[in-house]
């Protein structure tokens, strides 16, 4: 999506350690008008595939997933990073290593929100190594639901997670794929 690449070039900041900060529009401050258009674009990319749920993991991908679900006219499911008193009963769970935070956590989702009849689109703000997506895929598989595909607002192509999933035949869309980032701030797209 040309508009996503332009937005990254305009507002993104490259920080040491391969961090691309896009907090001004994607995941800390949300440019709602722009992200509403992004949601519509994702709906176009997965049109006709009978998606019944858009699933994400808390927290930074939630606005992105919310606006995709809205554009698709379906409900959103949010995987929790930790069990709490609000997540009761049977759950699907997955151990996920977070690249951003440098730790592992046990993500959970109530079984009542993921059914065998669901066709699920997984969404996240970033796709780097793909650990969060792989954790959610395990949940979809355990639920015997159908995985329609994965979408990321921004993929860090050089970290390989997206290509690994594509090689397995999974339909992965990213609105921008960053191939290279330099400490001088330059960004090269695939």
Interface residue with a second copy, options 3, 6, 9, 19 (CB under 8 A):
19
Closest CA to 73 of 45, 52, 87: 52
Within residues 89-148, the interface with a second copy by CB under 8 A covers 100-101, 109-110, 112-113
Q: Is 171 in the site for a second copy (CB under 8 A)?
A: no
Interface residue with a second copy, options 1, 14, 31, 170 (CB under 8 A):
31
Integer Cα distance of 132 and 135 in angstroms: 5
Indicate the residue among 57 and 177 with the shorter CB distance to a second copy: 57
Torsion sign across C-alpha atoms 122, 59, 158, 177: positive
Site string for a second copy, 36-65 (x = CB under 8 A): x---------------------xxx-xx--
State the number of CA atoms in the 13 A half-sphere of 35 facing the CB.
26
Token pair of 84 as six digits: 């709490």
139 close to 57: Cβ distance less than 8 angstroms: no
Interface residue with a second copy, options 73, 90, 182, 184 (CB under 8 A):
73
Indicate the residue among 98 and 146 with the shorter CB distance to a second copy: 98
Q: Which value, to the nearest 10 degrees, does the dihedral of the CA atoms of residues 6, 4, 175, 100 take?
A: 100
Interface residue with a second copy, options 29, 49, 104, 186 (CB under 8 A):
29
Integer Cα distance of 72 and 99 in angstroms: 30
Integer Cα distance of 165 and 129 in angstroms: 10
Residue 172 CB, nearest approach to a second copy (Å)? 23
Indicate the residue among 54 and 137 with the shorter CB distance to a second copy: 54
CB atoms inside a 10 Å sphere around CB 23: 13
Q: Is 28 in the site for a second copy (CB under 8 A)?
A: yes
Indicate the residue among 27 and 131 with the shorter CB distance to a second copy: 27
* Site of interaction with a second copy (CB under 8 A): 15, 17, 19, 21, 23-24, 27-33, 36, 58-60, 62-63, 66-67, 69-70, 73-78, 80-82, 84-88, 100-101, 109-110, 112-113
């Amino acid at each position: 999506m040309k508009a996503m690449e332009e937005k990254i070039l305009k507002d993104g900041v490259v920080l040491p350690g391969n961090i691309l900060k896009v907090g001004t529009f994607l995941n800390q401050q949300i440019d709602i008008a722009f992200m509403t258009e992004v949601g519509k674009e994702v709906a176009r990319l997965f049109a006709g595939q009978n998606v019944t749920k858009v699933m994400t993991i808390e927290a930074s991908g939630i606005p992105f997933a919310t606006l995709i679900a809205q554009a698709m006219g379906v409900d959103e499911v949010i995987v929790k990073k930790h069990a709490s008193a609000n997540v009761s009963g049977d759950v699907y769970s997955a151990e996920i290593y977070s690249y951003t935070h440098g730790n592992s956590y046990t993500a959970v989702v109530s079984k009542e929100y993921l059914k065998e009849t669901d066709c699920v689109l997984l969404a996240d703000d970033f796709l780097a190594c793909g650990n969060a997506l792989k954790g959610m895929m395990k949940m979809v598989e355990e639920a015997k639901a159908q995985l329609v595909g994965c979408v990321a607002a921004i993929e860090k192509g050089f970290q390989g997670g997206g290509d690994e999933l594509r090689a397995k035949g999974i339909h992965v869309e990213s609105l921008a794929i960053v191939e290279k980032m330099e400490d001088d701030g330059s960004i090269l797209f695939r």
